[in-house]
Chains A and B, each alone.
Chain A
Amino acid sequence: MAKNQMTEVNGVVSEALPNTQFRVTLEDGREILAHLAGKMRLYRIRVMPGDKVKLEMSPYDTDKGRITYRQG
């Protein structure tokens, strides 16, 4: 199954949930559920409420995202 290259969006973490999941508010105001990408976990990048993050979102699942980068 080909991997779909998802679109990148920006957001701000509003809440940290268990299992490295986060509630993130996107630039367009929507709040989605996001999890931490493997690479972030691997490099132990800490993400906390208030952090500006980059997410990958799939066109097939607009309520969920994958945090791929923490800015700053």
Chain B
Amino acid sequence: MTKLQAMTEGGARLGWIKGQLVKAVAVGVTPLDIEALADRLIKEGGDKASFKMEHGYYHATCINKNEGMVHGIPNSVPFKAGDVVKIDMGLFHNGYHLDTAITVQIEPKDPKITKFLETGQNALKAAIDQALPGNTVYDISTKMQQIIERDGYGAIRDLTGHGIGRKLHMDPWIPCFADNRSKRDVLSLDQTIAVEAMYTMGDWHLVEDSDGWTLSTQDKSTAGYFEETVYITKDGPIVLTKLKDSLD
């Protein structure tokens, strides 16, 4: 089986699981409930949870809400009306990792938040469209920063997307903002990357929680997070982890 076949399969599976988790997010549901569902669905597919293969992390998902940005350890605090929930998870299928994240707003939807989340999705899509052989990571990052800042939000500096494949985190780092060092990272055919749009409604500075994992915005502004695993082909990037409503 080729890398493309394995990762297409894994991505489709993960995209479907993502859809199931999004449907499950509601008032009263806890991050641990979402975690249990993710864990079960990953296992049922005969796959492994990528995040559990990370040193020091013991869950299949990272779940954050509101000013929480990334790496939230699932807990038993129920979601409330209006919570902006971020779910991040990885799947290890046939020797390859897939990684994806999505932000969901619980009713009642605040139009300001809806607009904020739209920006993230647009930024991610535009950034992914730059993933062409011969382009550099700088092209991806600049585009992402451009769209995030054009709409008045803050692009995260301390966290990055990354190469992905046999390992969850590989070179190159893919920042959410234009970092000159990224000009050295030329993209090539058949390369697989996890592009992550991480941004806030305010400033980009983050603080670490006492659990040693969770990162939240310093100014307590709402954070947004969208991520897809992408396969670079000569005809353009393939988004492997697109959200799916049904299993084919």
Contact = CB atoms under 8 A, between A and B. Distances in A.
B56 A2 contact: no
A49 interface: no
A2 B215 CA distance: 11
A65 B161 CA distance: 20
B196 A2 contact: yes
Chain B interface main SS type = strand
A60 B212 CA distance: 6
A5 interface: yes
Interface string A1-15: 111110000000000
Interface in B50-92: 50-51, 54-57, 62, 70-71, 88, 90
Contacts of B55: 61
23 contacts: A1-B50, A1-B54, A1-B57, A1-B71, A1-B168, A2-B71, A2-B88, A2-B160, A2-B198, A2-B227, A3-B160, A3-B161, A3-B162, A3-B169, A3-B173, A4-B71, A4-B215, A5-B175, A38-B170, A59-B208, A59-B212, A60-B56, A61-B55
Interface residues of B, number: 33
A3 B171 contact: no
Chain A interface main SS type = loop
Interface of B: 50-51, 54-57, 62, 70-71, 88, 90, 99, 101, 157-162, 168-171, 173, 175, 196, 198, 208, 212-213, 215, 225, 227
A3 B56 CA distance: 14
A69 to B, nearest CB: 13
A3 B213 contact: no
B56 A5 contact: no
A2 B174 CA distance: 10
A39 interface: yes
Lowest 3 CB-CB distances: which A-B pairs, in order?
A2-B159, A3-B162, A2-B70
A59 B215 CA distance: 11
A3 B51 CA distance: 12
A63 to B, nearest CB: 12
A17 B140 CA distance: 39
A1 B51 contact: yes
Given A3-B162, A5-B175, 14 more contacts: A1-B57, A1-B62, A1-B88, A2-B70, A2-B88, A2-B101, A2-B160, A2-B227, A3-B159, A3-B160, A5-B173, A59-B208, A60-B56, A60-B213
